[in-house]
Amino acid sequence: MFDSARAPLPPKPGVGYKPQHYAAIMESPGALGWLEIHAENYMGAGGRPIAQLRHLSDRFPVSVHGVGLSIGGEGRLDPDHLARLRHLCDWLNPASFSEHLAWSTHEGAFFNDLLPLPYTDATLTRICDHIDEVQEVLGRRMLLENPSSYLAFADSTWDEPGFLAEIARRTGCGLLLDVNNVFVSAMNLGYDPRAFIDAFPLQAVGEIHLGGHDEDHDDHGAPLLIDSHGAEVADPVWALLDHVLAKSGPRPVLIEWDTDVPDWPVLEAEAARAGRALAQVTA
């Protein structure tokens, strides 16, 4: 139903693009197979960011990752935000567009965070309605990302894999599997991350994310992992990626590093490690 002239993302490693890496990427991309941008950083009319993005998109497939639609919000989606997003996708024609299973707006206020939702029938209906609207406006299929969780709602009646599978079934959207989010949520809430992956609808996954996390403690002194995107991917997350790829086969794998961003060789080394994981599956 939602067609695009652009080829899909290749089953290769990608990175979240940062402008300070522009020259290095153009000169020495190394293992890099594709790039992801945050939509809200490129909704302007022009300037250096847009010019650089045009050059990059001539050379690499690009994925657009939204952080501000508030797919799970109780109110209607912001039509102005949707219009700007459509303008970006129309001229860039990205290989993929994704958003989060979260909410960030309420009664006109915007919260600079991705906030959690109870997994109930009412939430499911609202999210499906919003995804239908996004896909209709953009004229393309979107991917929905699983969240990192720090609490569970007592009134949830669905588990997360089943909830996401039902959203994909009703709307035809794909899923973005963030493996670090799975690990963080599993450690925080006390379940087996591999069992979560075994229950996840991997056939709907169009993109995989990896990122670093921080170790902290909650108010009661219990260990708490924070999805910070500010460090190298932890070894247990790499091991969980291997488990995912063994079940799903090759998929596009992205390295996210959004805070304390390192120099390009450090980020490229993480992408190269993702490339080796993919090569093992392909072989």
- Locate the domains of the chain by residue range: 13-282
Query: What is the separation, in whole angstroms, between the first and last Cα of the chain?
Result: 33
Evaluate whether 192 touches 186 at the Cβ level (below 8 Å): yes
| Cα-Cα-Cα-Cα dihedral sign, residues 139, 206, 208, 148 | positive
pLDDT tens-digit readout, 26-52: 999 999 999 999 999 999 777 999 999
Spatial separation of the C-alpha atoms in residues 105 and 77, rounded to whole Å:
9
| Alpha-carbon separation of residue 56 from 30, 104, 171, 190 (angstroms) | 15, 30, 31, 41
Chain position carrying tokens 């912001």: 78
pLDDT recorded at residue 230: 86
Evaluate whether 195 touches 180 at the Cβ level (below 8 Å): no
The CATH superfamily label for domain 13-282 reads Divalent-metal-dependent TIM barrel enzymes (3.20.20.150)
pLDDT tens-digit readout, 70-110: 888 888 999 999 999 999 999 999 999 999 998 555 455 54
The 8-class DSSP code of residue 155 comes to T
| Alpha-carbon separation of residue 31 from 11, 21, 70, 174, 253 (angstroms) | 12, 14, 33, 26, 12
Spatial separation of the C-alpha atoms in residues 43 and 155, rounded to whole Å:
37
For range 235-242, the mean pLDDT: 98
Spatial separation of the C-alpha atoms in residues 144 and 170, rounded to whole Å:
13
pLDDT tens-digit readout, 105-127: 545 554 455 557 889 999 999 99
3-state secondary structure of 240: helix
